[in-house]
Structure 1
Amino acid sequence: MSSQLEIQPRELKFVVELNKQSKCTIRLVNKTDQWLAFKVKTTSPKKYCVRPNVGVFQPKSVHEFVVIMQAIKTTPVDLTCKDKFLVQSTIVPEGTLEEHMTSEMFAKDGVKLVEDIKMRVSLVMAPSNFPEPTINEMLKQADAHIVSKIINNRDLNQVKDADVSPIQDVKAEPIKQVKFEPIKDVDLSMEKDVESELTKEQELVTRNNEESKVIDSKMSMSDEEQRLFLDVEEMKSKLHELESKLSKAEMTISNLTEDRWLIIQEREKLKQEMTFLKTRKVERRVQDGFPLLFVCMVALISLIAGYGFHP
């Protein structure tokens, strides 16, 4: 099934520049012969502002909306962005206005067609915001500078030695000695100097990076952010206290429920004992009363027999 809505472009591109907002304009084309309503959603509503985020446009017409990305305070390390946008569209009756639009119009109930089109976000670094050189690049530059200095010093030493030696002594064999012997000494000293200078440069670079990170973190946190940070920490502490209180309350509730079950069991036992005692009393009464009744019956029989046999 062909799409009822065409989006140009299909990807949102924002130019990243410090302390500046970035805009991106999107065109919507209604390819149907009916009125369409659209709605724009995003996974990061606090980071973006969509104007307008809902609308209605006529058949075979074009509608535009602008997405504004909030200003960035720090330079991002990675330009990959996982934010996404969703553009929903559905057919509405002719003459529908934006005031008549509701969220139920875009609910998928199986009767009406609601089309979803997803859009990705890509970030582009502004030309003015060139990335800072890495530690490796700075070390390479420092190494090249140090090596060039050492080579220049070596050339100067060779020139001085050549100037001091007389011209008459310059022959084939002495030239070899003059060239090779000082070069070995210079190479050894050069390696030692390069190692020492590299270690010094590395220590300086690491210190500068640590100091810059600390300064950037202090500068990036304004007064409002510090207040927010303090408020968040207070809320975390309060939540922790509430969690501890809730855990204590749960323990007391569990103890009370156990006590209740024990009390119920004790009541049941007492009821059983009471019924048992009542039955024992009835049996005793029956046993105690039976001999007396027997005696009375025997006495009555004996009296009747006595009157009967009396002449």
Structure 2
Amino acid sequence: MDMRLLEIHPRELKFIFELNKHSLCSIQLTNNTLDHVAFKVKITSPKKYFVRPKVGIIVPNSTCEFTVRMQAQTLAPPDMLCKDKFLIQSTVVPADTTDVDITSTLFAKEGGKYIEEQKLGVTLVSPSISPVVSPVDEALKEEEVALAVTEPNNLCKAVEEIVDQEPLNKNHVPGNATEPRDVNEEEPEPSCLPNDFIDGNEENLEMIKHLEELKLKLSELELKLCQAQNAISKLKEEKQISIQETKFLKENFSELRKTELNKVQVGFPVLYLYMVAIVCTFLGRLLR
């Protein structure tokens, strides 16, 4: 095919790099053909970037734009060099195709289907040498602020964002992009063989399933912890009541003991009274 399905502008993604701050970049895709063209974006570091939209359909002689957000980084790469790559896949589709129909099989190179693949590099720009802010850049800055405000804190939402990004190369290991490299070293061009590009949907689905299981277990543990806390509170209340009852019994016993001692000291024994009565009776008879 002499003419490209999609014209991409710009040909590289430039991010203004600042530590602990997000950065946005916008890419325009232009369909200059008379066919409907479907596109898909793949990334070597899916956890580092968020793409919106990741897939789409561009009608003839029209332009579509997608935005890439680079997550806030805590460390700067050596010499501000980034080895991350983006792959834009595109193919001709019927006019009635929708975004729901765009799956991994749509871009499978089978049966002589033409799949156009264009690779984009990533360039990090220091804020001190960043270009003059244009109206488009101001709009991107506003979108960045909105994304920062509405950034999800829930683990499941974060996982959904990660799943939306698809890895470009199955051999890629996160963190390699920040390793030092020789200045004279020529960066290898990634291969475009079909086996080098995977969607990673199965792995991401397994991750989601595992996280859901962890959430379920966490909920069960929280329920058991709540029950244990209630049982401990009940035992503490019972212990306090038992202490109060014991104290009350001790006080009553002390009072009763004092009362008995007072009775013994104040009164006369019954046997003593009987003895006095017998002696008085005997003396009375003698005197008669």
Instruction: Tell me the TM-score normalised to structure 1 length.
Output: 0.40
Using CA pairs under 8 Å that are at least 6 residues apart, name the structure with larger relative contact order, 1 or 2. Answer: 2
More helix by share: 1
Q: Which has the larger radius of gyration?
A: 1
* TM-score relative to the length of structure 2: 0.43
